[in-house]
Amino acid sequence: MLTSEVEPLAHAIEAIAAHGYVIIDDFLLPNEVTTLAEMIKNKWLDGQMVSAKTGKNGLKNQDIRSDYIAWLDEEDTTPAVQSYFRQMEMLRLMLNTQLFMNVQELETHVALYPVGGRYQKHLDQFSHGSSLGITTGNIQHRQLSAVLYLNQNWKAHHGGALKLYLDEENTIDILPNAGRIVLFLSAKFWHEVLPASRERLSLTGWFRTRHHLPL
Ligand code: OGA
Ligand code: MN
């Protein structure tokens, strides 16, 4: 494990402990970011990306979101994908040893938002008795959300920021710049993806506690 790889993660752990979220630039090497972006475009051309409106839980999200996704396989041998999983595994171990988060699994998908795409304000983890009626399923076990962006030369005027609601009054808009990853506590932060004038690519992961069958 190289010191240069551990340092940003050590900073991430401190920031998550202090604020519940962190933004890290250059999470992967530039060529890895480019490879991942190409991989998503190829999946799109191959028809492997499906509308997230009908998620794997079968719920219809209607107008809530307009992205297309493909679930990512940890067995995928693409070096850039392996590099991503390796970094995430280091992060997972640090979350457990230093923040006692007890996360065991990583659920990941790549996402493509077509021009004008958005994802309305939501939480990645629903509370019990949520009005959406989800009482079982993976979503309740999501502890930490991790969104890695793959967009070269993204400018503020392109839109497409991730708006993170810090509390009642404060929000921050985070641009989906290539190589940037945003980590935040899934149960704590409402967030939304603002519409963009460009296609927008990302790789999203959620660290989960292990799935237990309902009693
Ligand atoms: C999500 C999500 C944020 C982003 O996929 O749940 O909120 O910036 N993504 O892509
Ligand atoms: Mn989300």
Tokens 């070096």 sit on residue: 79
Ligand 1: list residues with CB < 6 Å: 111, 119, 124, 147, 162, 191, 193, 202, 204
Q: Check whether 60 has a pLDDT greater than 70.
A: no
**In the predicted model, what is the mean pLDDT of the chain?**
89
pLDDT tens-digit profile of 124-172?
986 543 444 444 456 668 999 999 999 999 999 999 999 999 999 999 9
| Ligand 1 atom showing the smallest separation from residue 69 Cα | 5
CB contact at 8 A, 214 and 118? no
Q: What is the number of alpha carbons within 13 Å of residue 169 lying toward its C-beta?
A: 0
Ligand 2 ion: residues within 5 Å (CB): 124
The C-alpha angle with vertex 203 and arms to 201 and 204, in degrees rounded to 5, equals: 125
CB 187 within 8 A of CB 196: no
Calculate how far, in angstroms, residue 140's C-alpha sits from the geometric centre of ligand 2: 13
- Number of Cβ within a 10 Å radius of residue 77: 7
pLDDT digits (tens, 9 = 90+) for 111-129: 999 999 999 999 998 654 3
DSSP state of 136: S
Strands of the 21-24 sheet, one edge to the other: 21-24, 181-185, 142-149, 200-208, 105-113, 68-71, 50-51
Phi-psi sector, 26: left (phi>0), alpha (psi -120 to 50), beta: left
**Distance set, CA 69 to CA 5, 7, 25, 155 (Å):** 28, 31, 23, 23
pLDDT tens readout for residues 196-208: 999 999 999 999 9
